[in-house]
Amino acid sequence: MNPEYAGGSLSGAFAALVRRDLLLAFRRRTELLFPVIFLLVVISLFPLGIGPSPQLLARIAPGVIWIAALLATVISLDALFRSDFEDGTLEQFVISGHPLTLIALAKIATHWLVAGLPIVLLSPLLALWMNLPTESLSVMVVTLALGTPILSLIGSIGVGLTISLKRGGQLLSLLVFPLYVPILIIATAAVMAASDGLPYTQFLGLLIAGLITSVTLAPFAAAAALKISLS
């Protein structure tokens, strides 16, 4: 297969795909808001469920916000390849001759821009709701900025594996949540350390290492998963 024939260079294809997916996402603006609204609703349930004590809320804030972010990511993940799989676009991508890994990476990048970035931007508000100390607020935002791309990357493998199933969404959460455990642990530990006035940069380092590792490995695994699902 000839990449030139399929229309341009690798980076051109990547950019074109991201642009197309962003355009598609912004055409359905209300759907775009669902994960964000979900996040707000889930977070607001916690004070209602366990009482409004500021100390208690501040104590559980990192965990609650992070778990809500995990849930919101998984809910939005199903849309990652779904429409392209159902209308056959994904098969066209495979035939196009561009490496499937690159296509997967473009899709993941778009997913993060559409579903991950709003969570990061919204997190200061959530942190205020949960009475998180202001000194750890910035750490919270940084862990989410570093962590949510990892969630999208690892999640894409699960989506690739379950895409051929009619109701893959429920199975997806079972597949990816165990893989999210280390990120949850490290990210919440960083925020808690910051709240307690302890050094936290080593945790951010671990998150960066995780981000680099998953950027290099996850697109390949996602592409392999898609290939199996398309076969």
The nearest distance, CB 117 to other proteins, in angstroms, is: 25
Which of these segments, 59-67, 99-107, 130-138, 160-168, binds other proteins (CB under 8 A)?
A: 160-168
d(Cα 112, Cα 123) in Å, to the nearest integer? 15
Closest to other proteins by CB, 7 vs 182, is: 182
Stretch 205-224 residues interacting with other proteins (CB under 8 A): 217, 221, 224
- 61 makes contact with other proteins (CB under 8 A): no
| Structure-token pair, residue 159 | 């989506």
Which of these segments, 38-46, 97-105, 125-133, 178-186, binds other proteins (CB under 8 A)?
A: 178-186
Which of 12, 52, 54, 182 is close enough to bind other proteins by CB under 8 A?
A: 182
Q: Given CA atoms 112, 113, 115, 118 in this order, what sign does their dihedral have? A: positive
Site string for other proteins, 120-159 (x = CB under 8 A): -------------------------------------xx-
The nearest distance, CB 171 to other proteins, in angstroms, is: 6
The nearest distance, CB 93 to other proteins, in angstroms, is: 19
Are 119 and 36 within 8 A, CB to CB? yes
Size of the site for other proteins (CB under 8 A): 25
Which of 71, 179, 204, 215 is close enough to bind other proteins by CB under 8 A?
A: 179
- Residues lying near other proteins in the complex (CB under 8 A): 157-158, 161-162, 164-165, 168, 171, 174-175, 177-179, 181-182, 185-186, 189, 217, 221, 224-225, 228-229, 231
